[in-house]
Amino acid sequence: MAAAAAALLLLLLAAAAGPGRVGAGRARRDALREELLLSPLPAGDVAATFQFRTRWDADLPRGAVSHYRLFPKALGRLVAALGVQELHLALTQGFWRTRTWGQPPLQAPAGAELWVWFQPTVTDVDKAWKELSNILSGIFCASLNFIDSTNTVTPTASFKPLGLANGTDHHLLRYAVLPREVVCTENLTPWKKLLPCGSKAGLAVLLKAERLFHSSYHSQAVHIRPICRFSHFEWL
């Protein structure tokens, strides 16, 4: 059996937004979908892409958050408290060989990458950004607490919102990368705990650290973005 040359773990979380609150007459539309894509690579290697997509029916701008059936509570409370519109975090080991393997499912540099869009209601974006990176550092056992003003930028021509957005005020965007961050088992364990069943059921039972961290390329990511409440889950 060929060894996996590349492994990508994507936790895609979407918060449903739209007009109207969730009332007693309408059931919540929380949903979870898991996918595994195996792609053959040159020299007999294989790329394994795991995707865990969760839809969370909550109205974050209005603070209407009262349930955590499938969505990880640690992240749900965080984005609600700090006014996060979108959150994108990637922890990557190795380099994707684009010339040989083609384009990756999602681009991510080596080390730790974090970029966040905040809601317009956030008055002190820098304070919220610092608090967010510190809390994420504890959740993922990563050195994100080293993110500060010296390695944070506010892009003006890139990193557009990937989800539902009413505007692109780049003053609400923050980006940072820690290229020396070493990705190891300590980062994988808390990542798997964000799944509804952890590593006890579903495709997560295949996520073995001894396999993943012996691959040529390994990347685990979390992407949170708002979607229209009335969109189909297949479009997340």
Two tokens, residue 188:
């994988």
Chain segment 162-193, per-residue pLDDT in tens: 877 666 788 999 999 999 998 888 888 889 88
Least confidently predicted of 21-35, 106-120, 140-154: 21-35
| Total domain count, the chain | 1
Chain segment 124-174, per-residue pLDDT in tens: 999 999 999 999 999 999 999 999 999 999 998 888 888 776 667 889 999
Sheet holding 84-93, edge to edge: 31-40, 46-57, 4-17, 217-228, 84-93, 111-118, 173-178, 152-153
Residue 1, pLDDT above cutoff 60: no
Report the predicted TM-score, pTM, of the whole model to 2 decimal places.
0.85
Range(s) of the domain holding residue 155: 4-235
Cβ neighbors of 153 (< 8 A, separation 6 or more) are: 174, 175, 176
Amino acid letter, 176: A
